[in-house]
Amino acid sequence: AQSVTQLGSHVSVSEGALVLLRCNYSSSVPPYLFWYVQYPNQGLQLLLKYTTGATLVKGINGFEAEFKKSETSFHLTKPSAHMSDAAEYFCAVSPDNNNDMRFGAGTRLTVKP
């Protein structure tokens, strides 16, 4: 069975500061890991995903995440926050068939001017 824990339901950063959103997973099989972003009144949009290979994954809008098997983590980072990054972020894990994706509870990112 797979599950995801996102540490911190709310994160607030200043514009230009580092963004770090934490995600830890549990999986009985090698996981596929995802980060999605949800803007108000919009659907979820894929930021990045890890399947196999390089453990540092680069996504859209300057975000990246690193798969650390020893720590069962897949934290999302961005060097410099922008006001437009304010949204809800979801980490998700699935087994290799991608048919039962399990999402975390989400982290709401606020960016202060």
Only segment of 11-19, 60-68, 72-80, 99-107 that touches another protein (CB under 8 A): 99-107
Pick 58 or 80: Cβ nearer another protein: 58
Residue 46 is a binding residue for another protein (CB under 8 A): yes
Question: Any contact of residue 22 with another protein (CB under 8 A)?
Answer: no
Shortest approach of another protein to residue 30 CB, angstroms?
Answer: 12
> DSSP characters for 25-49?
EE-SS--EEEEEEE-TTS-EEEEEE
Would you say 19 or 36 has its CB closer to another protein? 36
In single-letter form, the type of residue at position 44 comes to: L
CB of 80 to another protein, least distance (A): 26
Closest C-alpha among 47, 55, 6 to residue 26: 6
Q: What are the angstrom distances between the C-alpha of 23 and each of 19, 41, 44, 57?
A: 13, 24, 17, 14
